[in-house]
Chains A and B, each alone.
Chain A
Amino acid sequence: MKATETEIKINNLNVFHGNHHTLKNINIEIPKQKITVILGSSGCGKTTLLKCLNRLTDLYSNIKVNGEIIINGEDILHSKEDITNIRRKMGLLSQMPYPLPMNIYNNIAYGLKISGRKKKKYLNKRVEYYLKQINLWEEVKDRLKDPASSLSLGQQQRLCLARGLTVDPNIILADEPTSALDPVSSNAIEELFLNLKQHYTTVLVTHTLRQAKRIADYVVFMYLGEIIEQGPADEFFNNPKMEKTKSYLRGTSN
């Protein structure tokens, strides 16, 4: 573990929803260019943790975040840098695909356009590049001007992944990205994550143990807002130390 670099360092993170203590003393070192899976049952604070990472918590009233999240040597929770620049370093993939209300082409081009690249030739090239990266190009190349909502759910989710990549992030944040998809589309997404691993640091939230086993390099197991156990995937699955982890692994693996 020590050999790999750390991309995100979370120190003593505490989150309160009103009086409810949602996340308690979270400390994680997320390794660079690996897939870190945050595992846990529903309502244990996984999604909140993910939202802290790109400060989407700003969008909610009544939520208080304490602690440090250090990315590239900078604490993003108390940073003076513009939040849009911080968010641009992370691609987000949410539970449901939310295509932007535009056509397929512009869904991909949007991220490029808002960061100031507007030359048509360049955009065409990049759109094709990103669509190929998620294996969607062949399926949609003839109908780029169709609204993105006309795609199937699985295609939409892949489109959303590509859209997240356009802003050239270092990190991909994924919040149960396959929970709304059929098995074939889920597999496609999982494979994409494995392919993208060499370029991006991925943080994936999931409650499916099997998915975690398939793709995780590093696992963080959470229960009721606390981290119960974390470690490299092999160690975590084959040799869990905590009693709660053992029972969780036993409970869902048969």
Chain B
Amino acid sequence: MMTKKTEENIFKVLMVLSTSIIICGFLLIMGSVLIKGLPTLSIEMLTEVPQGGYYFGKGGGILNAIVGSLYLSLGATFLAFIVALPVSLFMNVYLINKNKLLNVIRYLLDLLWGVPSIVYGAFGFIIMVYFGLRTSLLAGIITVALFVIPIMIRAMDEVFKTVPRGLIEVAFSLGSTKSETAFKVFFKQVIPSVVTAVLLSFGRAIGDAASILFTTGYTDSIPTSLLEPTATLPLAVFFQLSSPIPEVQNRAYASALVLILIILIISLLARIISNKNNLKKFNIKNAVNKRFIYYKNIRNNYNLSYKKRRKSQQ
């Protein structure tokens, strides 16, 4: 009896310990970034591009990196979505009866998920050299998309796996083709969770530094075309932190804070959107439709009684 109780206690201590380590880690990271970054963070930093001498502590901001990062990660997420959605639907609707093949595909995707992002960067670099591209937003978007695609496919795959088999059977038995089943039934059933999968990938895309080191380059201006190099927040952190000047180092922390805030906002949005009830609250279309039906019923009733009256008159 005693041993059971001690066993229980040991595991309890372990659980509390590991949970508190995670919470402490989070608080320490947020704390150090806030302490070092918050005093430096200013409106100027968010709304201006670097002026001359910015990296020696003179005026300017990191708007170039903020905008660049958003361009890059939005572009990459969009590109990845276009590829990942069909692939994950294909896996779950077309290959539904090919378990062995599916296991192989899932295993490969998990491997790709585990490949370090610097390897994607190196691969992207090879492609760029082959096509004679210079470091540019386009090259960065493609590289980051490659790196995010396996993550997004697997995330969506896990979502689609939760669709009940019965619903698929129903869709097929109504005579839907496979593509109708995929897009009209499957995709619709789990839209909120798909949104979560996309935003998860967005978080990975915006936070990664290694894959864009060689491919997007860095510049002090906001890019005006896909073929220009662009600044990004992770690299802004990297460059400013490697400066010997303390003021510039603090700016690195402020940039990190901005990056964290963007990710925080995005994941909050994900939470809100993926919660079906919240979605319903915002469903204005539904309310309008209800009104519409209400009036239509009145009109129909009137028409009916009108027709009746006419008949009786005749």
Residue in chain B with minimal CB distance to A57:
B97
Residues in chain A near residue B173, CB distance under 8 A: 54, 56, 87, 90-92, 164, 173
Q: Using A61-B99, A98-B164 as known contacts, say yes or no to A110 and B174 having CB atoms under 8 A apart.
A: yes
Mask for B19-60, Cβ within 8 A of A = 1, else 0?
Answer: 000000000000000000000000000000000000000000
Q: Does B166 contact A (CB under 8 A)?
A: yes
Residues of chain A lying within 8 A (CB to CB) of residue B176: 84, 114
Asked if B180 contacts A61 (CB within 8 A), the reply is no
Given A61-B100, A101-B185, answer yes or no on A111-B175 (Cβ-Cβ < 8 Å): yes
Stretch from B66-74, B289-297, B306-314 that touches the partner: B289-297
B175 with A145: CB separation less than 8 A: no
The answer, yes or no, to whether B241 is at the interface (CB within 8 Å) is no
Instruction: Say if the beta carbon of B272 comes within 8 Å of chain A.
Output: no
Q: Is the CB of B170 within 8 A of A100?
A: yes
A56 adjacent to B174 (CB under 8 Å): no
A59 touches B180 (CB 8 A): no
Q: Which of A59, A88, A96, A114 contacts B97 (CB 8 A)?
A: A59
Contacts of B99 in A (CB 8 A): 61-62
CB distance from B233 to the nearest CB of A (A): 37
Chain B residue, CB-CB nearest to A55: B172
Assuming the contacts A142-B297, A145-B293, asked whether A100 and B96 have C-beta atoms less than 8 A apart, the reply is no
A186 interface hit (Cβ, 8 Å) = no
A151 contacts B by Cβ under 8 Å: no
Known: A60-B97, A94-B166, A101-B188. A163 touches B174 (CB 8 A): yes
Give bound CA distance, A84 to B188, whole Å.
21
**Is the pair B180, A114 in contact by a Cβ cutoff of 8 Å?**
yes
For window 49-85 of A, CB contacts with B under 8 Å fall at 51, 54, 56, 58-63, 84-85
Instruction: Tell me whether A102 and B188 are in contact in the complex, defined as CB-CB below 8 angstroms, given that A61-B100, A144-B293 are known contacts.
Output: yes
Contact among A98, A111, A145 with B166 in the assembled complex (CB-CB below 8 Å)? A98
* Segment 129-169 of A: residues with Cβ below 8 Å from B: 142-145, 160, 163-164, 166-167
B184 touches A110 (CB 8 A): yes
Q: Is B169 an interface residue (CB 8 A)?
A: yes
B304 near A: Cβ within 8 Å? no
Bound CA–CA A143/B289 (angstroms): 10
Question: Total A-B residue pairs with C-beta atoms closer than 8 Å?
Answer: 85
Give A95 to B164 CA distance when docked, in angstroms: 12
Q: A residues within 8 A CB of B185?
A: 100-101
The answer for the CA separation of A156 and B171 in the assembled complex, in Å, is 15
Residues A98 and B167 in contact in the complex (CB < 8 Å), given A54-B173, A91-B173: yes
Asked whether B98 lies within 8 Å of A114 as measured between CB atoms, the reply is no
Most chain A CB neighbours (cut-off 10 Å) among B164, B171, B173, B185: B173
Q: Is B177's CB within 8 Å of the partner chain A?
A: yes
Q: In the complex the two chains form, is A101's CB within 8 Å of B175's CB?
A: no
A115 interface residue per 8 A CB criterion:
yes
- A-facing mask of B120-145, CB < 8 A → 1, else 0? 00000000000000000000000000
Question: Which chain B residue lies CB-closest to A88?
Answer: B175
Considering the chains assembled together, what is the distance between the CA atoms of A62 and B289 in angstroms? 47
Q: CB-defined interface of B257-293 with A at 8 Å, one 1/0 digit per residue? A: 0000000000000000000000000000010011001
**Shortest Cβ distance from B280 into chain A, in angstroms?**
9
Given contacts A92-B169, A142-B293, contact A111 B96 (CB under 8 A): no
Nearest chain A CB to B266 CB, angstrom units: 25
A85-B293 CB under 8 A given contacts A95-B166, A100-B170? no
Question: For the complex, what is the distance from the CA of A98 to the CA of B177, rounded to whole Å?
Answer: 18
> Do residues B175 and A87 form an inter-chain contact, with CB atoms below 8 A?
yes
Find out whether the CB atom of A59 lies under 8 angstroms from the CB atom of B167.
no
CA distance A115 to B172 in the complex (A): 13
CA distance A54 to B176 in the complex (A): 13
Chain A CB within 10 A, most for which of B164, B174, B188, B290: B174
In the complex, which residues of chain B have a beta carbon less than 8 angstroms from the beta carbon of A61? 97-100
Contact residues in A for B290 (Cβ distance below 8 Å): 143, 145
Report if B168 contacts A (CB, 8 A): yes
Q: B170 near A160 (CB under 8 angstroms)?
A: yes
- State whether the Cβ of B219 lies closer than 8 Å to any Cβ in chain A: no
Report how far A164 CA is from B176 CA in the complex, Å: 12
Q: Which residues of B contact A96 (CB under 8 A)?
A: 164, 166
Residues of A within 8 A of B170 (CB): 92, 94, 98, 100, 160, 163
B167–A100 CB distance below 8 A: yes
A95 to B97, CA, bound (A): 21
Within 8 A of B (CB), among A173-197: 173
A sample of 14 more A-B contacts (CB under 8 A), given A100-B184, A110-B174, A145-B289, is: A56-B172, A59-B97, A60-B97, A84-B177, A87-B172, A92-B170, A96-B164, A98-B170, A101-B185, A114-B175, A142-B297, A144-B293, A163-B170, A166-B174
CB-based closest 4 A-B pairs: A88-B175, A92-B173, A61-B99, A101-B189
Q: What are 20 inter-chain pairs, A to B, with CB distance below 8 A?
A: A59-B97, A61-B98, A61-B99, A61-B100, A62-B99, A63-B97, A87-B175, A94-B166, A94-B170, A98-B166, A100-B167, A100-B184, A100-B185, A100-B188, A111-B174, A114-B180, A115-B175, A145-B293, A163-B174, A164-B173
